[in-house]
Structure 1
Amino acid sequence: MLCTHSLTANAYPVLDGLGLVPALEKAGAVRNHARWYTRWGWIEPRASAAGPELPYAYNIRRSVLDPLIRSRAEQTPGVDLLLGHQVTGLVGAAGGRTVGLRAATPQGEREIRARLVVGADGKDSAVAKLAGVADRQHENTRFGYLAHFRNLPLPGGIGQTWFLEPDMAYAFPNDDGVTVLAVLPDKKRLPAFREDVEESFYAFIRALPEAPPIDSAERITKITGTVDYPLHTRKPIAPGIALIGDAALTSDPLWGVGCGWALESAQWLTEAVAAAAAGRADLDRSLVAYARKHQRRLRGHQSLAADFARARPFNPVERLVFSAAARDESVARHTHLFAQRLIGPMRFLNPVALAKASAVNIRHRGTTATPTATTSPPPPSSGADGR
């Protein structure tokens, strides 16, 4: 599984509301400021001199984050934490409504009745499949490999992302001095990459502009990845069913939005059904309200992600904005808000923002510095030794 171990800033209010921010800070979570390489140079968002700090959330490994969230859930009044349960079926009623589930447990199969079953079980959601929820898939024409390293310094100590058009890479510092390095090349490169995954991975990183010093770092995990990671879009509700996180919408892992959207969609669902759970509102109408908000807030993001997952170079509008962001601090801050999923595509690419980007590029016409490199790393030489 590819996981960026990143919580985008849109998730910060949820983390704060759950009282998890102090625990995350104590666990060593790294505030996820970042810079992005483009053919025009680096986009480096910085707070304005008179403005507030840039919004952030955290980079933290799932092996640390998940137990923190599970512990907080277990301590919440009214929550029964049932470990070792695997959903094997849904309990249906007349009219096709789900009224519970069946689960395999260490003590055998059991049935659990509920007014609402929530599928929070990832991109291959068993709940969604058992409920027959339609699954629209979008092809991802990049593959990905990642590994974890210690003693890997990064400029500014912050995350780095490389837009190599069409290949991608990122390096995200996490808790306990661990940095996640990932490469996401075009699938056209897969046959050569597979000849020697380790050397291909190292060669790709070495060739990056301002490449992290991978050869002097300590790799503490295997190089793992996936060669087929389609994007999934499902309707987030069915009778008696609600889907959150990757079960409802799985985006391209290169954007690092999965964990943030999981937390955010969980909050949207909670807010939508709270009155119904207390018997003060109709559950089905509440679920429809949740579905509308989910689609309104995430449909545009997913549409752009699915388009970019075709491993294409930047389109004209993206070239306009990203080139300006590499040259102007205010455009870089605007881009940061979108990358942290605090604004949607309509605000990111609104006429005022595009006019600002155009003005910036006109001012810099003919004065653009040549970046360190503008092409993807070359294929590795056969027979080279791995690291």
Structure 2
Amino acid sequence: MPRPESVRHDYDVVISGASLAGSAAAILLARRGVRVALLERRSDPGAYKALCTHSLQASAYPVLDELGLVPALEKAGAVRNEARWYTRWGWIEPRAAPAGPELPYAYNVRRSTLDPLIRSHAAETPGVDLLLGHQVTGLVREAGRTSGVRASTPQGECEIRARLVVGADGKDSAVAKFAGVPARQYENARFGYLAHFRELPLHGGLSHTWFLEPDMAYAFPNDDGVTVVAVLPDRKRLPAFREDLEGSFLAFVRALPEGPLIDSAERITKITGTVRYPLHSRKPTAPGVALIGDAALTGDPLWGVGCGWALQSAQWLAESVAPAATGQGDLDSSLRVYARRHRRRLRGHQYLAADFAKSRPFNPMERLMFSAAARDESVARHMHLFASRLIGPLRFLNPVAVAKASAVNIRHRGAAVSPAHLPPTGS
């Protein structure tokens, strides 16, 4: 049996899926000298994912910058995703410190704008061959590892050889299935519906999220004057909700504290959604295979992390494997580096999200941090870093931050019990 290095390769890397993760990985790998085949099962270069939060976390901004997409996004009208969050203690409204830098941000932008933009950027990148209408139907395996794909194309079946096959083909990844990579699933006890509206102003032009314990909702301003409104109730409410989907959706939004004036807005899309959307995690590598984006890890849509993690995992993969993908290193060692980085950066976030997906009220630690953030600007800024996925759970809940939140709440209770509210003392 010939060694992998001696086998002829049509490409260095073949990527299944030309959405955010796949297109970003293709660009970043090709810039590092990797020959990439970027396969997309849909034939329309303007195809896009409709069911999405349409938001990119601030943690993804460095990837957008490296890709060179920031000017194009700004030109397309993408909205910087500054946010405020409703809680039972009031609004959390992160603001920059008086003498400090502006808060990190990325963008709200509809996938109908974003997907064609990044895909065309990939197609124009030297070293990338965008192959539309190519659907992976199986993997080529040699010596116990994957060495290419079989695909159906408009011209018939074909086989494409490569040192590395990348699954960027979503939560139901065919590449993962063919490679025998199982998924660990976490039940999501909420369902979700969303719709797009015009002429729906939001306070300060900011993104809004409502933590209603256990129900959730959000409204995100997007490009071209469109606002995405989503509701994510406890699944116990699903039977009644489905009896009158439009009426239930509108009533839910009308009842939101300081909610958007939805009755005066123009709805420009159907109300669409999903009643079962489990979170799942897969080991992001196998011999000759890497998984990125939702193929590796599918988060809870209420947190809006999917687009950002798609871009970040693409960047981590390119940084880890590019030399080895061209035959200038040990590919298996490089894949282990990628897997460790993926696990280190995302496992803690996914653990907390899976726990919150049980559709429960806040636990004691969440009550501490959310209540303090509603009362103190520095705690609100700290929460913004976590919500933007710029810091992980360990930094978010470090002893100094927890002590600060505790002190804020103790001061608040002390201020609430003023002398006028104290019982009279005996004479």
TM-score range, shorter chain: over 0.9
Partner of 2:194: 146
Q: Secondary structure at 2:188's aligned position in 1?
A: coil
In structure 2, distance between residues paired with 1:199 and 1:7:
30
Q: 1:305 to 1:26 in 2, by over 3 A?
A: same
Match among 16, 20, 26 for residue 69 of structure 2:
20
In structure 2, distance between residues paired with 1:324 and 1:149:
33
In structure 1, distance between residues paired with 2:323 and 2:157:
32
Is the CA contact (8 Å cut-off) linking 1:119 and 1:128 kept in structure 2?
yes
Give deviations 1:330-365, integer Å, cap 9, x for gaps: 000000000100000000011100000000001111
Partner of 1:63: 112
In structure 2, distance between residues paired with 1:129 and 1:149:
37
Structure number with bigger Rg? 2
Q: 1:280 to 1:70 in 2, by over 3 A?
A: same
- Answer with 101-110 or 251-260: which moved more: 101-110
Partner of 1:316: 364
Q: Secondary structure at 1:354's aligned position in 2?
A: helix
- Displacement of 1:368 in angstroms is 6.3
Partner of 1:374: none
Give deviations 1:145-195, integer Å, cap 9, x for gaps: 000000000000010000000000000000000000000000000010010
**Residue 116 of structure 2 corresponds to residue 46 of structure 1:** no
Is the CA contact (8 Å cut-off) linking 1:2 and 1:253 kept in structure 2?
no
What code does the residue aligned with 2:291 have?
Answer: L
Structure 2 unmatched ranges of 5 or more = 1-49, 418-427
In structure 1, distance between residues paired with 2:243 and 2:414:
43
In structure 2, distance between residues paired with 1:198 and 1:129:
37
Partner of 1:247: 295
Partner of 2:29: none
Once the two structures are superposed, the pairs formed by residues 1-387 of structure 1 within 5 Å of their partners are 2-95=51-144, 97-365=145-413
Q: How many residues in Structure 1 have an aligned counterpart in Structure 2?
A: 368
- Displacement of 1:278 in angstroms is 3.4
User: Normalising to structure 1: TM-score of the pair?
Assistant: 0.94
Q: Secondary structure at 2:184's aligned position in 1?
A: strand
Partner of 1:376: none
What code does the residue aligned with 1:115 have?
Answer: R
In structure 1, distance between residues paired with 2:76 and 2:134:
28
- Displacement of 1:6 in angstroms is 0.4
RMSD (CA atoms): 1.1
In structure 2, distance between residues paired with 1:103 and 1:81:
14
- Displacement of 1:367 in angstroms is 5.1
In structure 2, distance between residues paired with 1:140 and 1:342:
24
- Answer with 286-295 or 273-282: which moved more: 273-282
What code does the residue aligned with 1:158 have?
Answer: L
Identity of paired residues, percent? 82
Is the CA contact (8 Å cut-off) linking 2:94 and 2:380 kept in structure 1?
yes
Q: Secondary structure at 2:315's aligned position in 1?
A: helix
In structure 1, distance between residues paired with 2:203 and 2:64:
28
In structure 2, distance between residues paired with 1:358 and 1:288:
40
Is the CA contact (8 Å cut-off) linking 1:35 and 1:159 kept in structure 2?
yes
Is the CA contact (8 Å cut-off) linking 2:184 and 2:282 kept in structure 1?
yes
User: Normalising to structure 2: TM-score of the pair?
Assistant: 0.85
Structure 1 unmatched ranges of 5 or more = 370-387
In structure 1, distance between residues paired with 2:147 and 2:259:
53
Is the CA contact (8 Å cut-off) linking 2:164 and 2:325 kept in structure 1?
no
What code does the residue aligned with 1:27 have?
Answer: A
Partner of 2:421: none
In structure 2, distance between residues paired with 1:172 and 1:368:
34
Q: 1:173 to 1:82 in 2, by over 3 A?
A: same
Q: Secondary structure at 1:82's aligned position in 2?
A: strand
Is the CA contact (8 Å cut-off) linking 1:40 and 1:368 kept in structure 2?
no
Partner of 2:14: none
Q: 1:196 to 1:22 in 2, by over 3 A?
A: same
Q: Secondary structure at 1:81's aligned position in 2?
A: strand
In structure 2, distance between residues paired with 1:250 and 1:305:
10
What code does the residue aligned with 1:49 have?
Answer: P
Partner of 1:383: none
Give deviations 1:199-234, integer Å, cap 9, x for gaps: 000000000000100000000000000000000100
Give deviations 1:126-158, integer Å, cap 9, x for gaps: 111111101100000000000000000000001
In structure 1, distance between residues paired with 2:382 and 2:252:
30
- Displacement of 1:237 in angstroms is 0.2
- Displacement of 1:94 in angstroms is 2.4
- Displacement of 1:280 in angstroms is 2.5
What code does the residue aligned with 1:339 have?
Answer: A
Q: Secondary structure at 2:193's aligned position in 1?
A: strand
- Displacement of 1:72 in angstroms is 1.0
Q: 1:148 to 1:366 in 2, by over 3 A?
A: farther
Q: Secondary structure at 1:133's aligned position in 2?
A: coil
Is the CA contact (8 Å cut-off) linking 2:140 and 2:148 kept in structure 1?
yes
- Displacement of 1:109 in angstroms is 1.1
In structure 2, distance between residues paired with 1:281 and 1:341:
32
What code does the residue aligned with 1:37 have?
Answer: Y
In structure 1, distance between residues paired with 2:309 and 2:381:
21
What code does the residue aligned with 2:331 have?
Answer: L
Q: Secondary structure at 1:10's aligned position in 2?
A: helix
Is the CA contact (8 Å cut-off) linking 1:142 and 1:311 kept in structure 2?
yes
What code does the residue aligned with 1:119 have?
Answer: G
